[in-house]
Amino acid sequence: EKGCSLGACAPLAFSVTFGDRTTFSYDRRCCQGKQCNKENVPLTPKSSNPNGIECPACYNETNLSCNPVHLQCTGAETKCIEVVGTVTINRIPYFALFGMGCATESACNLELSIVNGTNVRSYCVGPKSGSPPLMS
């Protein structure tokens, strides 16, 4: 989705992988000038290399819960995340989605409006016990 910012713009990029391997990538870039956002933004390819982190993961568009499975995180997705999405219609918020999985650190603790007026809140938690620490 492209558009014009009502206020200050800050770049933001993140990715999340949910339990059924549903992946969500987001990349907000800022520019100034007439039709400066005309070009499409290429998303950074995700790595498929395991990083040693394991998170509970699931995805549901009908309930505010789901049955998590263990998901091996890959690449830069080193945080375990929970995401709740709502859509507001006539000033009434409706549940839209719930998910758990692996995410980049930049996806943690966000409140933002994304595609088609869906409002998303995210919360990051530590990996499940038993996951090895990330080594550099």
For 89-109, write each residue's pLDDT tens digit. Answer: 787 777 778 999 999 999 999
- Predicted confidence at residue 51, as pLDDT, reads 94
- Residue 72 CA, chain-centre distance (Å), reads 16
Tell which wins on pLDDT, 19 or 79. Answer: 79
* 42-56 per-position pLDDT tens digit: 877 888 999 999 999
The CA distance from 13 to 37, in Å, is 16
- Kindly provide the b/e burial profile for residues 62-88, where b requires at least 16 CB atoms within 10 angstroms of the residue's own CB: eeeebebeebebbbbbbbbbbbebbee
> What are the beta bridge partners of residue 16?
24, 103
Are 93 and 119 a contacting pair, CB within 8 Å? Answer: yes
Task: Write down the pTM of the prediction.
Answer: 0.79
